[in-house]
Structure 1
């Protein structure tokens, strides 16, 4: 990581509903872990294709999102 741990701590501790977001992330990650542990290749591929389709339809500007994150952090 190129960022300071204090930056991540400030974000995690300051953002509203972060505990709920973290729990949701853990639930979603567990779903993927279960697919791998169960060697459910077909469902893994299906889910990856769904994600791929969503990303192809979206107009994601990750650089802009990164810049916006820094603007938020500067305001903390």
Structure 2
């Protein structure tokens, strides 16, 4: 596994979670609060899942189960 995969997972989780907040906030202008939260919830869940995956990979790499390739290619 390449080191940049950790960075991609971290940035991806932040972007997807931020998109969830934007979707739920912007949809409150059009629909009710509960419906807006239901629209943003899948993105927030996906962002949280990406963050958990990044953490799990970091733990596995630190204990030596997953080899991390430091090369840039």
Q: Which one has more relative contact order, counting CA pairs under 8 Å at least 6 apart?
A: 2
* Fold conserved between structures, TM > 0.5: no
Q: TM-score range by the shorter chain?
A: 0.3 to 0.5
